[in-house]
């Protein structure tokens, strides 16, 4: 009897150790939408298996999931999406209808935007809010203390980096304004979120074409920022051809290309390039 009790005790200890080890090593199977959300999740939750529902280089506004894909993705433990995007709202609903046990995180819950969805991740301040939302939800869902401690550690590191980016943009705007160069010419009003950093953003879609042309002709303006996902308008093409306007394409990062991934481009490297371009356009 004593031998049996000892054997059961040993088995119990072994099972407990295995269970603890399994909880520590086995993470959640996570699905995300756009690349910036995947980036946050992968940075914070290294113990999980994170996969975007979009393939590399997908045109997400025209990308439709098949019924088979919906069923496959909905079998995951967690879906993280942007609730301010109606398309992503509908995807979340289709996943939940397929799997009632699926947990979800809306990264934009409680947020409001004024200019465009891209400002949620092109603004370091907004992106930090998304990061905080994901971190808070993950730590509430995960019981393993080793994993939650790791998430908290990774969060602090990423938050510090984003805060430095935020401060850098404000510093550039301050210096540019002191030199009378704080104006940024942009293709659309989406870029007007940069006003919050102290820049004066002039959106071509809201401006008088003749006034814009005159300012490029006399070299008051020299550079135009536009999203990499949009085509040049007739006005932008004219400003480039007639007055030598420099066009800077801003990577909106909804998905990354295979080439970008092979070159080890990340949200942070792309944002550093973007901020450097803003600095050169205003202070260069």
Domains of the chain (ranges; CATH) run 27-56+65-163 (3.40.50.1980), 180-283 (3.40.50.1980)
Hey, which bits of 84-176 come out as E strands? Answer: 103-106
When the pLDDT of each residue in the chain is averaged and rounded to a whole number, the result is 91
pLDDT bracket for residue 114 (50, 70, 90): very high
Q: Give the count of alpha carbons within 13 A of 1, CB side only.
A: 0
Q: Are 47 and 150 in contact (CB under 8 A)?
A: yes
Cβ neighbours of 103 (radius 10 Å): 15
Residue 128, pLDDT score: 98
Residue 26, pLDDT score: 58
Regarding pTM above 0.75, the answer is yes
To which residue do tokens 């200890």 refer? Answer: 13
Q: Reply yes or no on whether the pLDDT at 263 is more than 50.
A: yes
Residue 57, pLDDT score: 87
| pLDDT tens, residue by residue, 81-91 | 999 999 999 99
Three-state secondary structure of 26-94: CCCEEEECCHHHHHHHHHHCCCCEEEECCCCCCCHHHCCCCHHHHHHHHCCCEEEECCCCHHHHHHHHH
Cα–Cα distance measured from residue 28 to residue 133, given in angstroms and rounded to the nearest whole number: 17
């Amino acid at each position: 009897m004593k031998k049996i009790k000892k054997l059961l005790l040993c088995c119990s200890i072994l099972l407990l150790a295995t269970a603890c080890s399994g909880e520590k090593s086995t993470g959640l199977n996570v699905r995300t939408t756009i690349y910036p959300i995947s980036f946050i999740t992968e940075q914070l939750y290294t113990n999980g298996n994170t996969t975007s529902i979009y393939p590399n280089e997908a045109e997400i506004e025209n990308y439709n999931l098949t019924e088979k894909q919906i069923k496959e993705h909905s079998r995951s433990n967690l879906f993280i999406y942007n609730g301010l995007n109606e398309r992503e709202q509908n995807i979340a609903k289709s996943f939940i209808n397929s799997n009632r046990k699926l947990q979800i995180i809306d990264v934009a819950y409680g947020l409001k935007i004024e200019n465009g969805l891209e400002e949620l991740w092109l603004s370091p301040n907004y992106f930090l809010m998304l990061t905080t939302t994901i971190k808070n939800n993950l730590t509430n869902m995960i019981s393993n203390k080793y994993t939650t401690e790791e998430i908290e550690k990774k969060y602090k590191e990423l938050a510090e980096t984003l805060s430095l980016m935020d401060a850098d943009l404000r510093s550039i705007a301050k210096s540019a304004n002191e030199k009378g160069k704080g104006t940024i010419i942009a293709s659309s009003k989406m870029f007007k979120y940069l006003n919050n950093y102290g820049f004066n953003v002039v959106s071509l879609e809201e401006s008088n074409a003749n006034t814009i042309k005159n300012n490029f002709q006399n070299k008051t303006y020299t550079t135009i920022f536009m999203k990499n996902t949009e085509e040049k308008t007739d006005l932008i093409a004219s400003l480039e051809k007639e007055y030598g306007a420099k066009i800077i394409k801003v990577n909106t990062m909804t998905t990354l290309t295979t080439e970008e991934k092979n070159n080890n481009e990340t949200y942070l490297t792309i944002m550093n390039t973007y901020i450097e371009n803003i600095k050169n356009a205003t202070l260069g």
